[in-house]
Amino acid sequence: MRNGDHSTRLHKLLPKQVNIVEVGARDGLQNEKMVPLDVKVALIDKLSQTGLCYIETGAFVSPKRIPQMADSAEVFEAINRKPNITYSALTPNLRGLEDAIQAGADEVAVFTSASETFSQNNIHCSINESLKRFEPVIALAASENIKVRGYLSCVADCPYEGPTQPAQVASIAKAMSDLGCYQVSLGDTIGTGTPLRIARMIESVSHLLPAHNLAVHFHDTYGQALANIFQALQMGINTIDSSVAGLGGCPYAPGASGNVATEDVLYLCEGLGINTGVNLEEVVRTAHYIAKILGKAPNSKVARSQTPS
């Protein structure tokens, strides 16, 4: 096969446009030592200048469990909002949603797991109980015209139970969609997946839900996130969760490292001719800003190889 034929075939499989869901201020900072309010606000304000349209801004969860997110209401209050950007928050229960509404979140996200043990550790209930808990959250959100996104964790492996069955991922993703989540973000929470397993999982979910109702949320513990995203893109998924400077992790997912870095995803998309609307240089600048404050190098190949002037 000639190169040109191959690249044409690949092009047909790939989306023309990818939506980036920036999770650094939530998934990233929930896994760091306490970051002052003004730094969170500066981070989000800088991200707002990059062309990103969706910024996860905080989480209305128990401050005893995730103290790093305890000031989410203040963050929403202080950021300089741009009208074309969705500023969202995690809301595990009605109390979280009420607080998110009060804070003016544009959208919210509920979250559960494909693994019972992770669910118990992360949100203190079974998978079925978590789905029950979503019902009043989604009903109240609908009455307030707030869209609800869903996160499904451990779609490849669970830190406690090992491999997850693709059929299990598919049936819970479908249940979340049936409850009213407009999109289900498939989370490789501990970043152990590789493209073939990710493809099997997405294929299984795709039997029940269209790809445009799905997103991928890959942590990069084993350096497979970009390969897994490349696989997901070829299967019709065009919403990618990522985190500036590759920050991220979940305190209840031992051994997991950061999310795939936004700047690495942007570089990949640019190279594939996929439009994201996001300025790579500005994101790299922001990655260096937050990494410096956190006292480490950005956790991404792209930011490490580009030092902003």
Select the residue interacting with ligand HMG from 44, 61, 89, 170 (CB under 6 A).
Answer: 61
Of 100 and 155, the one with the shorter C-beta distance to Mg ion is 155
Task: For the CB of residue 44, give the shortest distance to ligand HMG in the complex, in Å.
Answer: 17
CA dist., res. 108 & res. 72, Å (int): 13
Task: For the CB of residue 271, give the shortest distance to ligand HMG in the complex, in Å.
Answer: 25
276 binds, among Mg ion, ligand HMG, none (CB under 5 to 8 A by kind): none
The per-type count for the chain, helices as H runs and strands as E runs, is 12, 10
Task: For the CB of residue 243, give the shortest distance to Mg ion in the complex, in Å.
Answer: 8
Q: Check if the beta carbon of residue 60 is closer than 8 Å to that of residue 99.
A: yes
Q: Check if the beta carbon of residue 99 is closer than 8 Å to that of residue 61.
A: no
Q: Which amino acid is located at 102 in the chain?
A: Q
Does position 134 interact with ligand HMG (CB under 6 A)? The reply is no
Q: What is residue 219's three-state secondary structure?
A: strand
Q: 200-239 mask for ligand HMG (x: CB under 6 A)?
A: -----------------x-x--------------------
Does position 157 interact with Mg ion (CB under 5 A)? The reply is no
Does position 153 interact with ligand HMG (CB under 6 A)? The reply is yes
Q: Nearest to residue 14, comparing CAs of 237, 209, 197, 163? A: 237
Backbone torsion region of residue 130, taken as left when φ is above 0, otherwise alpha when ψ lies between -120 and 50, otherwise beta: alpha
Select the residue interacting with Mg ion from 27, 56, 220, 264 (CB under 5 A).
Answer: 27
Which structure tokens are listed for 129?
């109980």
Alpha helices (H) in 144-214, listed in sequence order = 166-179, 195-206
What is the chain's percent helix, strand, coil content, to nearest 5?
A: 50, 15, 35
Question: Binding to ligand HMG (CB under 6 A): which residues in 8-47?
Answer: 27, 30
Is 250 a known active-site residue?
A: yes
Among 154, 181, 250, 269, which one carries the catalytic annotation?
A: 250
Q: Kindly list the residues in this chain that would bind ligand HMG in the complex (CB under 6 A).
A: 27, 30, 59-66, 90, 92-93, 95-96, 111, 122-124, 151, 153, 187, 189, 217, 219, 250
Q: Kindly list the residues in this chain that would bind Mg ion in the complex (CB under 5 A).
A: 27
**Residues annotated as catalytic (active site), given as ranges:** 250
